[in-house]
A = this chain, B = another copy of it.
Amino acid sequence: MEMVERRFRRFGRLGPRDFEFLSDVVSRSEPLAARHTVFGEGRHCRQMYLLVDGWVAEYRLLFDGGRQILQLRLPGEVFGLDCLGYGVSLHAVQTLTACQVGAIPVDDYQRVKRDHPLIFEALFRMALFERAISHEWAVSLGRRPAWSRVAHLLLELTERCALTGLVDERVPLPLTQQDLADCTGLTIGYVNRVLRDMRSRDLIELTTGSLVIKDKDSLARFAGFKARYLNPLLDPPGEVDANGGK
């Protein structure tokens, strides 16, 4: 619940009733093993998911065996919203670590909207946040050279871990090099070479499962990384005054 609460607090001033609802979802959440497929692409879907703990990847598989990771989800985030707009999953989801995952049936959609408008609004604002990240990835995929793509991803992930707190310099990074390749649109071999180069320049320290960025400034400079898109406003417009001064 810890991370769920931190996350939602970042996207709205929920009330006790709202946290009760979330807490309820969390209490009914279930554990999933690492590297487990939560759902495939093109499946009829009837529920959204709340990632209570662990990391998952949203991805698409291509005809030729290629894979593009569309987004990484961190603890407290929500995924599987396609059921709302399509009733079918447009992408697949797989756990990267062991996870704890809660479900929110779409049948509860009307109820959430009505009884928990602040949760609904938080979802909207989370969607905007996520969109900003996707845009940044698109810029990487479309216009940045391999080195910058990888640097950008590493910087973004450390920054996102910091966003909900609870991390020091060393951040968990449960991604294989193949995963990194599938995020950045590169091949595993080339990712490896890029990482080797970063290590040789003493910019990062990357072991299986954890990352330390030793020279954030240099890395950010080389990659053209600006963290602005990772710092959403705490309040939606018009509510700052209403709630801020109470």
A236 with B84: CB separation less than 8 A: yes
| Known A62-B224, A143-B67; contact A128-B236, beta-carbon cutoff 8 A | no
Does A232 sit within 8 A of B, measured CB to CB? Answer: yes
Q: Which residues of B contact A138 (CB under 8 A)?
A: 68, 70, 134, 137-138, 141
How distant is A179 from chain B, measured CB to nearest CB, in Å? 13
In residues 111-168 of chain A, which contact B (Cβ within 8 Å)?
A: 113, 117, 120-121, 123-125, 127-132, 134-135, 137-139, 141-144
Does A107 sit within 8 A of B, measured CB to CB? Answer: yes
Q: Which residues of B contact A131 (CB under 8 A)?
A: 127, 130-131, 134
List the B residue with the shortest CB-CB distance to A145. B64
Q: Which residues of B contact A66 (CB under 8 A)?
A: 143
How does the 8 Å CB contact mask read for A233-245 relative to B, with 1 for contact and 0 for none?
Answer: 1001111000000
Q: Which residues of B contact A113 (CB under 8 A)?
A: 117, 121
Q: How many residues of A contact B (CB 8 A)?
A: 57
How distant is A244 from chain B, measured CB to nearest CB, in Å? 14
List the B residue with the shortest CB-CB distance to A62. B143
In residues 13-64 of chain A, which contact B (Cβ within 8 Å)?
A: 42, 60, 62-63
How distant is A243 from chain B, measured CB to nearest CB, in Å? 12
5 closest A-B pairs by CB: A142-B185, A141-B141, A110-B238, A85-B128, A106-B237
23 contacts between A and B (CB under 8 A): A42-B228, A60-B139, A62-B224, A68-B142, A81-B128, A82-B128, A85-B129, A86-B228, A86-B232, A87-B233, A109-B237, A110-B237, A110-B239, A124-B127, A127-B128, A131-B131, A131-B134, A137-B138, A138-B138, A141-B185, A142-B184, A142-B185, A143-B185
